[in-house]
Homo-oligomer: A and B are copies of this chain.
Amino acid sequence: MTIRYPNGKRYVPVQQATTGSKNTNPSFSNRGKTLEDELNDTNEYYLANNIAVIHKKPVPIQVVNVRYPARSAAVITEAYFRSPSTTDYNGAWNGKYIDFEAKETKNRTSFPLQNIHEHQVEHMRKVSEQQGIAFLLVKFTVLDRYFIVPYEYFEKMWERMIAGGRKSITLTEIEEMSIEINAGFHPRLDYLGALNALNRNLN
């Protein structure tokens, strides 16, 4: 399946009944959560409800020294963060391969492309060639808005930058060419529901 983007179609998730829950105001109950927390919650929901199996990959770390104390766990005493060669999230959803990178920006009017590494773009291109579903999930933290930017569209913006064009995607461009996820309560960020809505628009 190839994902394309609807023109300005916005996905409105169906609100789940949350009987007995005290958290009736999603934006309040999730205040202060990072995008990673929100996605972990969402992926746990997907897993528990047999909707999808999607995990965040561990941060790649180069271990240099390890101490093995008697009768206790090995302690890593020297290690370094390595830059990831792939995206952060991947998994299986109803026979499809899902692969995405999640990024937050405090910017109000555009998403800076410097947030993405070239090898991540390369990775998403390869995934897309293997008929996987690759995308960026972008959160504008100040605006509290979330978008799925399909790789096919992101690639055009990346190539525009390579060709000497602007080093960001404007919010207006994102609004036109991406799918907005309306944050809910359960699941917090129903990005798979948004992808479904996108496919319905194409059929």
Contact = CB atoms under 8 A, between A and B. Distances in A.
Contacts of A97: 91-92, 95-97, 132
A103 interface: no
A79 B75 CA distance: 6
A81 interface: yes
A130 B92 contact: yes
Copies in the complex: 2
Instruction: Pick the 7 closest A-B CB pairs, nearest first.
Output: A95-B131, A92-B132, A92-B97, A58-B60, A92-B130, A76-B79, A97-B97
Nearest to A95: B131
Q: Which of A53, A55, A59 has the most CB of B within 10 A?
A: A53
Given A57-B58, A58-B57, A58-B61, A130 B94 contact: yes
Contacts of A53: 123, 126-127, 130, 132
A85 B55 contact: yes
A182 interface: no
A2 to B, nearest CB: 10
Contacts of A96: 95, 97
A58 B58 CA distance: 6
21 contacts: A47-B126, A50-B129, A53-B123, A53-B130, A55-B86, A58-B58, A58-B60, A61-B61, A61-B63, A61-B76, A61-B79, A73-B80, A75-B79, A76-B78, A77-B77, A92-B99, A92-B131, A95-B131, A96-B97, A97-B97, A97-B132
